[in-house]
Amino acid sequence: MFADNYYYREYQRLLVELHALIAAGRNQSSEARQLRQFMERAEADLVEEEVVRLNALSADLSMTHDREIPDSDVVARVPAHEVPRLIESAYKSGKWEDILELLRVGASHLWRADQVAYVRSRAYEGLGELAPAVAFMDEAVRRVPNNANYRALALRLLWQSKRYQQAYSRARDYLADANTKPRLVLMSGGIVAQRTMQIPEPADLNTVANVAVPRMQQALPLETSPSLIFAGLVSLGLLAVQVDDMIAASNAFRDALGVDTISDEQVTSSWTLNRELELVRSGKAKTAEERSNARQLAEFLQSSPVAVTA
């Protein structure tokens, strides 16, 4: 895969940053000039196929500054009215490269711009290329700011791409906003819960966790997805341990064990969850044994789902 090449990933990251500057009206800034210099250095270690692929990504990213650059070869080869059906088929088969190519026929007259950005994000994610996946999901958010699912997916992608501080900062802001939708509250709490397992901790972690616990307690009864309820309860338990609220932690872990099983992850994490409940109830919270067990629960949260309605 292209993403296996360090220089490809580096060029891709720089390209995403450059298009963000262009979108902000800073195409001729010193930062943009410096990015282009770094890109030239990385390009020296790319093969022709990788350069072609990155040029196509650059055209895709043009949508972030309200331009559409169709690929003339794709336009000549694929009838526009066939694109939705072909993309649906490719999506079901996980043919991510085919999806990206089909969108280059010029899909703005077929779908809303946020939907195009969403599909591009999922395709790049499927290819393991997280820098553009984040960029396109953020573009979907820009187009439809009140779509909590887009925001939740962007948050998850940030975490998966190891941009932990950015993910944490967004989660903190969502939790502080009284208007944040319940599902995004749960996703944000999950990010903060995972952050409690990392060293060094953010200076404001306890403050944020104290905000997160009651917000999640309010949001959980409004959620309908068993898998999201399960992940939310595990996150709530870990956050409650962080702020020394062992009653809330015990209740959350107990309730998580009572959620209907609908995934392999629930089954495989049940022993760890039972053990966490025992440790908290026996007064062993924040011991080395409990922290080790809690880290295993936090790993489960990394794969927790986000239901999406595009």
Positive or negative: CA dihedral 72, 76, 82, 88:
negative
309 touches 201 (CB < 8 A): no
Check residue 58 and give its pLDDT.
97
Query: d(Cα 310, Cα 305) in Å, to the nearest integer?
Result: 15
By the 10 Å C-beta count (0-12 exposed, 13-18 middle, 19+ buried), 240 is classed as buried
pLDDT tens digit sequence for 161-199: 999 999 999 999 999 999 999 999 999 999 999 999 999
Whether residue 306 is predicted with pLDDT greater than 80 in this model: the reply is no
Say which amino acid occupies 170: R
Longest dimension (CA), the chain: 69
The model carries a pTM of: 0.91
123 touches 96 (CB < 8 A): yes
CA atoms within 13 A on the CB side of 227: 13
Positive or negative: CA dihedral 152, 158, 164, 169:
negative
What pLDDT band is residue 303 in, cutting at 50, 70 and 90?
low
By the 10 Å C-beta count (0-12 exposed, 13-18 middle, 19+ buried), 202 is classed as middle
